[in-house]
Structures are given as structure tokens and as C-alpha cells.
Amino acid sequence: MERLCKYIYAKDRTDRIRTCAILCHIYHHALHSRWYQARDLMLMSHLQDNIQHADPPVQILYNRTMVQLGICAFRQGLTKDAHNALLDIQSSGRAKELLGQGLLLRSLQERNQEQEKVERRRQVPFHLHINLELLECVYLVSAMLLEIPYMAAHESDARRRMISKQFHHQLRVGERQPLLGPPESMREHVVAASKAMKMGDWKTCHKAMMGRGRRDWLVPFPEALLSVSMTPSDMFELDLPTVHSIISKMIINEELMASLDQPTQTVVMHRTEPTAQQNLALQLAEKLGWSPSPDLVIHPPPPPKVLGLQA
């Protein structure tokens, strides 16, 4: 593949064939889990800047390549890169059409017979189809691994933003169900895993989420804990170096106000975070148009003295 693509890069003078060769080269790297080579080739080609001016078959190939890039990043454990690569396809609601694997009913009603024939000729053969359910599952799991830690760290923040609207929609659908039985569909499994991950119940989730489970268990409750043992427990079953690495990254990224005590193998929590009541007081002050510092809320100044008037 590399030899053939390099031949086209050197000999071809038309942008279309060169673009298709680059996309096929990236697709080949992603298909064989060579994430960094595929990512670097995509960034160096600058195809994302002008792909909207390409003809529809090239755009379909570009969309398929981006999907394979996202799945490749997910296989490598790069959840943020996977989410970013799949975001545009999944948020459009037209993944089937954008990947050339079918036409939407509403799109058929807007086209005449000639346009429909042209569209059908652009469709990818069935044996080359990308599993749309797998694509959605990869996107939702990536969004879960990004959204649940963010929700845990900003639980009392009124200005909390959404990383994935589709993931939040699935959570709301799961919360509206009156009876919660065992999950059956893929979306129900993701929702159940999200709830278990938020509670730190990694066994209901997946082994790949063990580190994330401990991380999300520590973030919401720093004010309720004085110290946490780093000794592997039945709750997470992680070895000591893994636990040490996870907590060290959280401290460096200022996600956890704590320090490591090596002799006792514990995490000592520093109670510098405002409590839930203090966060609510800050939000109320912002709504009233007055934004004090957290220190003023935690330690309010003494009331001013009232001086009497002398006649």
C-alpha cells in the first residue's frame, strides 16, 4: 500500500486521485491499528480544511476514513481522540448517508428519480459497510469516559457544559424509564455502565474502565475523606503502581487536592475545596450580580461597626 501510494504522490498531477490515495493510505493505517501514522498523515495532508469542496464520492471516502480513525484511536485507548474523530458523523444524525451505506427516507422524498439513481451508484458495496451499531457504541463509550469524570468534577457548577449531547440524551432516556430491568440493547448497556462508573462499581462496567472508576470515585467526595489507602482493595483490584500513577496524574492536573504519603501508602486529602453549600452560595451571589472570592464565602469578614451620631 505504501509503495503504490508513494508512486501516485510522485506521478499524479490531479488533486482528486492524489486525495483518494492519501485517504486510502490513512484508511489502511487505521485498519491495522497504526494510529499515529494515520493521524500524522491526516494532519500533514490538510484534507479537513478543503474537503467540503470535493465531489461526493471523495467526501464519502473521507467520512469512512475519519470513522476508521476514530475506531483505531478507541482500540488504542485514546478516548478523547476517538470522540473527536467521530463527533461530526454522529452528531449529524445521518451517519448511514454520510458513509454511503444507504439513503434516508426523507432524502428520497426530496429527490427525483435521476438524482436517486446517481445517489445509489455512489453507495458502498455491502461487504465494505461499517457496522453502524459498532460506530455508535464506540462513540457513546468514548463520550462516557469523557463525560462522567467531567460531571463528577463539576457536579455543583451551574455553567457546566455538555461534551456530548447524544450521550446526555441517552442518559435522560434511561432516567425516564419507570422500571429499570437488565440492559438489553447497546444503548441500555452504555447507560448502565455510565451509572455504575459514576458510583465506582467497575465490575458492572469493564476492566478497561477500572482506572477511570477509581478516579471518578475520588473526585466527588474529597471533602468527606481524610485519607484513602492506596492498597489494592476488593473494590477496584488494582496493583499499587497503577493506583499511584492514576492518583499522581489527578494531583498534577489539579483534579484532586491531596498529597501522597509513601510510608503509610495513603492519599491525604486537603480540605481546600468549597462544600456543596458554599458552591450554592457562590452561584446565588453570581445571580445577584455580586461575585465574591471563595475565601470571602468560606470565611466571611466581621460585620462593620455602627457609629452613633452625637448631637
pLDDT tens for residues 176-230?
777 777 767 777 777 777 777 777 665 565 543 444 445 545 555 554 455 555 5
Position 39 confidence tier, pLDDT thresholds 50, 70, 90: very high
Q: What is the pLDDT of residues 134-179, one digit of tens each?
A: 888 888 888 888 887 777 666 666 666 777 777 777 777 777 777 7
pLDDT exceeds cutoff 60 at 48 = yes
Handedness of CA 294, 213, 208, 166 (dihedral sign): negative
- Let me know if domain 208-290 sits in CATH 1.10.10.10: yes
Q: Residue 287: exposed, middle, or buried by beta-carbon count in 10 A (0-12, 13-18, 19+)?
A: exposed
- Higher pLDDT: 45 or 288? It is 45
pLDDT on residue 201: 61
Contact call for residues 262 and 214 (beta carbons, < 8 A): no
pLDDT exceeds cutoff 50 at 120 = yes
pLDDT exceeds cutoff 70 at 75 = yes
- Percent with pLDDT over 70 in the chain: 72
pLDDT on residue 161: 74
pLDDT on residue 26: 93
- Higher pLDDT: 116 or 306? It is 116
pLDDT exceeds cutoff 90 at 68 = yes
Mean pLDDT, range 10-14, rounded to an integer: 83
Position 65 confidence tier, pLDDT thresholds 50, 70, 90: very high
> Can you give the chain as a three-state secondary structure string?
CHHHHHHHHHHCCCHHHHHHHHHHHHHHHHHCCCHHHHHHHHHHHCHHHHHHHCCHHHHHHHHHHHHHHHHHHHHCCCHHHHHHHHHHHHHHCCHHHHCCCCCCHHHHHCCCHHHHHHHHHCCCCHHHCCCHHHHHHHHHHHHHHHHHHHHHHCCCCCCCCCCCHHHHHHHHHHHHCCCCCCCCCHHHHHHHHHHHHHCCCHHHCCHHHHHHHHHHHHCCCHHHCCEEECCCCCCCCCCHHHHHHHHHHHHHCCCCCEEEECCCCEEEECCCCCCHHHHHHHHHHHHCCCCCCHHHHHCCCCCCCCCCCCC
Q: What is the pLDDT of residues 269-301, one digit of tens each?
A: 776 556 667 778 877 877 776 545 555 444 554
Contacts of 116 (CB under 8 A, 6+ apart): 103, 108
Averaged pLDDT of the chain: 75
Buried residues in 48-65 as b, exposed as e (16+ CB within 10 A): eeebeebeeebbbbbbbb
Mean pLDDT, range 243-250, rounded to an integer: 79
- Alpha-carbon distance of 209 to 142, in angstroms, equals 11
Q: Where are the domains of the chain?
A: 2-135, 208-290
- Alpha-carbon distance of 64 to 66, in angstroms, equals 5
pLDDT on residue 305: 40
Radius of gyration of the chain (CA): 26
Position 123 confidence tier, pLDDT thresholds 50, 70, 90: confident
pLDDT on residue 208: 38
Residue with the three cell numbers 458523523: 89
pLDDT on residue 162: 73
